[in-house]
A and B are shown apart, each in its own frame.
Chain A
């Protein structure tokens, strides 16, 4: 009896070992299969590593590209799509997920991949500095804006429950916090001089009203949808997307707000390794065509293409005080000032 169990146990162990090794080798063969595909194969596969928000738009863009590529070259392009939070996706690609194209929420995440040595060309030389879509930081309130929220200062009013995704767990959420901080800078500038201390204080006062720091922008919207909080700080396109799905949130774009720019790039090392460089380049270029730009605009993004932007003019008014990340000194400066361990974001929270 004892021997039998032992035998069974060892058989089980052996079996699990073979399964484990099989798992390992199967992923290896599938990726090398791609590389033998080559430029002239009848069918190639592109691996897209993206952040989660543009998924809806890609449902339209990818079939359009496949059709166009087939007509032009006779090749069938298959897509493997992965959608994750932007920072998670960037780390996955840098850590060995062999995406050919990266579509992320902020520059810093593309930089992560570049620093890992996988992007070898200067991706910023592409049209619009490599940015495929824009948006702005906006405020979403319950239908009809019962708390009368108009500006960043209103987030600090007593009795207002604020939702912000946590900038420590979500790189994309840094746009939202940048906007609050930037709103404070603009406010103080209007009073006389650009005062970082005032901006830090505004952020701290807003932090006191925060109901939940969810781990991502998506999670923050879910919390809001479930009835918690009076106002959610997020991207305009996220709010428009929710309203397109049948919600009735009031979307407020404050007069001073930050321009959100989302980059895309070909991951050179991976595309070359898989032998899909031409298709990958073509797909990236396709993202700036009017067709793709319209698809993005339909899902709530602001198009970067001026002609398409004109077309959607009534949908996306440009607020008078719109500024970009340079107003805050660029990403490196912002990370140092706001998000480093013990920087402004931490100080505000630790002070309680």
Chain B
């Protein structure tokens, strides 16, 4: 019986490993190999040419903005969903994940239909000389839409797990509401806020489907890295596409790795 279990564990472990290897590791390594196949000089040239480089910088900038907005909004929403009881809360809670279930292109299309020049909102904005669609704000909106669930979903369980007696103790000991929030509640939420934000950031970096629709895709102004990569794939320049991908992958990996370190530290404590 024990023998049997060991066999089972081994087989499960090796299946998981093979799956991970085949589905994740090999394709990603392939991108690194392809990206660096022309040597370092070619790699640097592919990345540093102005159109590619601008697109990477722009993507990072917009992803940071989207992440900051989502972190603030997501924290508040998670708080509202866990702490308050209001009609429609459950419905709202299940709606949060919808951006994951929707093809992102549809999200982009909705932004276009809502804010495009023919919509009443779009024409009102145009009347006030505010351009959103095909400009950078639309890209940020698309990124926010796509990464919306991350922060909420990482904070929620932490808030739910929070022991009410800790809070009560804080109040009993005479702490103010804000003192209690910042000293007791927020430290418990913090790993969720940071982890969620970093996941959202790396997802925003790579967003394509929604962004390609709502952005003008003009180099230096509204061309994001993912669209630039797509352009390289389509104009049969796989090594150029892979080079920019390598940059994004490495950045995302560093971000995710630091998330891992952060949560590990929390577990150790």
Contact = CB atoms under 8 A, between A and B. Distances in A.
Given A10-B11, A212-B216, A341-B240, A228 B133 contact: yes
A147 to B, nearest CB: 15
Interface stretch (B156-164, B231-239, B249-257, B259-267): B231-239
B220 A349 contact: yes
Interface in B92-120: 112-113, 116-118
B235 A13 contact: no
A169 B218 contact: no
A114 to B, nearest CB: 14
Contact of A87 (B9, B117, B219, B234): B234
B217 A212 contact: yes
Contacts of A167: 235
A85 B212 CA distance: 15
A341 B8 contact: no
B118 A7 contact: no
A221 to B, nearest CB: 13
B216 A350 contact: no
A13 B12 contact: yes
A88 interface: yes
B16 interface: yes
A227 B115 CA distance: 11
Nearest to B15: A13
B30 interface: no
Contact of A169 (B122, B216, B220, B234): B234
A13 to B, nearest CB: 5
A212 B5 contact: no
Contacts of B223: 213
Contacts of B231: 166, 168-169
Interface residues of A, number: 37
A13 B117 contact: no
A349 B12 contact: no
B133 to A, nearest CB: 7
A3 interface: yes
Contacts of B122: 227
A29 interface: no
A273 to B, nearest CB: 25
Interface string A324-352: 00000000000000010110001001101
B50 A350 contact: yes
Given A211-B134, A219-B213, A6 B234 contact: no
A9 interface: yes
B186 to A, nearest CB: 34
B51 interface: yes
A215 interface: yes
Given A88-B234, A341-B240, A10 B216 contact: no
A84 B155 CA distance: 42
B230 interface: yes
B117 to A, nearest CB: 4
B181 interface: no
A7 B240 CA distance: 45
B19 interface: yes
A17 B14 CA distance: 13
Given A226-B116, A342-B49, 6 more contacts: A17-B15, A168-B235, A169-B227, A226-B113, A341-B49, A349-B219
8 contacts: A10-B11, A211-B216, A212-B218, A213-B218, A215-B230, A227-B118, A228-B116, A341-B240
Closest 4 CB pairs of A and B: A227-B117, A168-B231, A227-B118, A212-B216
